[in-house]
Structure 1
Amino acid sequence: MDEYAALLSVATLWVVAAVTPGPNFLVTVRVAVTQSRVAGLHTVAGIILATLLWASAGFLGIHSLFNVAPWMYLFLKLAGGAYLIWLGLKLLWGSVDRTVTSSTQDVISTHGWRAFRLGFITNIANPKTALFVAGLFAVAMPPEAPAALGLMAIALMVTISLVWYSVVAWLFASRRISRAYARLGHWIDRVAGGCFIFFGVRLVRE
């Protein structure tokens, strides 16, 4: 019974974290709207792989590793923040001059491997995810939780992320939303670019 309660706690906390708009949400929406549903789902696959890695690292105690080697966390934080700021600047530049939109879209998406890579890097670039997961396990899981329970919790987190971001990619790839983007693309890119820069700066400063 305690195991079910722990898994319910993990699921509740992770649902809240997943549905809260952040870089993963923004990049999934951007790829789905500007490219295709398939490209959006490739981006989701990259996000899911990074989620699996961060969840596994959180369960194994990466927070302790960061305490032992704080330079590692600092490096990941600065690199991740710089990457998000770079994405944001690319979007802003593309929104100002539509002649560079195609090059911007090459950065923010495309198909197959590149869309997968974009989703993976966007998620793995945020080491705060590992700290959040470590805190989640500390709060929701019993002390010295067995490996089987940890694996179930990780599988639950991956499943929640997969379902949520797949739904996002599916919905935002609809023709109606794509047509709206065609009309308002400049402003949407400016808002998205500003959000990426905001997330990047916040990651670097915290």
Structure 2
Amino acid sequence: MVDWSAVVTVFSVYMASAVIPGPNFVAITHKAVTGKRSDTFALVAGIVTVNLFWATCAMLGIGAVFAIFPWLAVGVRIAGAAYLVWFGLRLLMSARATPAEAKHPPKAPRFRAAFLQGVATNIANPKSIAFYAAVFSSAVPAHVSTQTFFAMLATVGAAATCWYGAVALVLSHAAIAAAYRRAKAWIDLTCGGLMIALGIRQAFR
């Protein structure tokens, strides 16, 4: 039998965190205004996949693992922060590209690359790791039925897909992409700066 109160709690806790802009939001924003819509949704799929992974780990007790092995949590946080800084630097460098180059992205297959970028962005996202290890895991009851476990997992997957999918759909609109091309350098510099700031902040927390 499904414990719906637990499912609702998980949904509320997850959405309260998801709507706060972080590395995932910045990555989706940049992909939406620079790449194809299909690539943006591929990136979202990668982010959602990792959300399901972290949610599963949290419900199985990753918070306890990090409490027993604090050095592991520190290592994961530092590695994630390093990735965010690296990604931010790439965005700063892309600010030099001309609007014409942004309008005509490479024709090589990018769907798989976009999916893997979404996976890398979220699995190295210190915000996600900290949220699932501390806040999310504490919101999940200690013992739940198999039905409740999968209901909570499905709730996280559906909520992440709807939220990030909506962001991708809105920001990949042609008018928004055209506005990006007119202000490409400033947007890339802003997104890159945010990624680097988030990475540095997480590294020294």
- Give the letter for the 1:47 counterpart: I
- Aligned partners of 2:97, 2:17: CA distance in 1, in Å? 34
SS at match of 2:183: helix
User: Aligned residue for 1:75?
Assistant: 75
1:58-73 to 2 correspondences below 5 Å: 58-73=58-73
1:121-160 to 2 correspondences below 5 Å: 121-160=120-159
User: Aligned residue for 1:198?
Assistant: 197
Flag the 1:10–1:57 CA change in 2: closer, same or farther, 3 A: same
TM-score normalised by length of structure 1:
0.88
Q: Tell whether the 8 Å contact from 2:84 to 2:198 is kept in structure 1 after alignment.
A: yes
- Give the letter for the 1:74 counterpart: V
Aligned-pair CA distance for 1:70: 2.1
Q: Tell whether the 8 Å contact from 1:76 to 1:126 is kept in structure 2 after alignment.
A: no
Flag the 1:79–1:143 CA change in 2: closer, same or farther, 3 A: closer
User: Aligned residue for 1:94?
Assistant: 94
Aligned-pair CA distance for 1:147: 3.1
1:26-41 to 2 correspondences below 5 Å: 26-41=26-41
Q: Tell whether the 8 Å contact from 2:50 to 2:122 is kept in structure 1 after alignment.
A: yes
Q: Structure 1, residues 122-169: CA drift from partner, whole Å, max 9, x if none? A: 000125524422444554333322232122111101110011111111
Aligned-pair CA distance for 1:189: 0.5
- Aligned partners of 1:202, 1:48: CA distance in 2, in Å? 24
Q: Structure 1, residues 86-122: CA drift from partner, whole Å, max 9, x if none? A: 1111111222x336x969x99xxx8211100110010
Aligned-pair CA distance for 1:12: 1.2
Aligned-pair CA distance for 1:76: 1.2
Higher normalized helix content (fraction of residues): 1
Flag the 1:137–1:195 CA change in 2: closer, same or farther, 3 A: closer
Gaps of 5+ in 1: none
- Aligned partners of 2:44, 2:142: CA distance in 1, in Å? 32
- Aligned partners of 1:130, 1:29: CA distance in 2, in Å? 21
TM-score normalised by length of structure 2:
0.88
Q: Tell whether the 8 Å contact from 1:81 to 1:204 is kept in structure 2 after alignment.
A: yes
Q: Tell whether the 8 Å contact from 1:88 to 1:194 is kept in structure 2 after alignment.
A: yes
Moved more, 117-126 or 63-72: 63-72
User: Aligned residue for 1:161?
Assistant: 160
For these two proteins, the number of residue pairs brought into alignment is 200
1:178-193 to 2 correspondences below 5 Å: 178-193=177-192
Report % sequence identity: 35
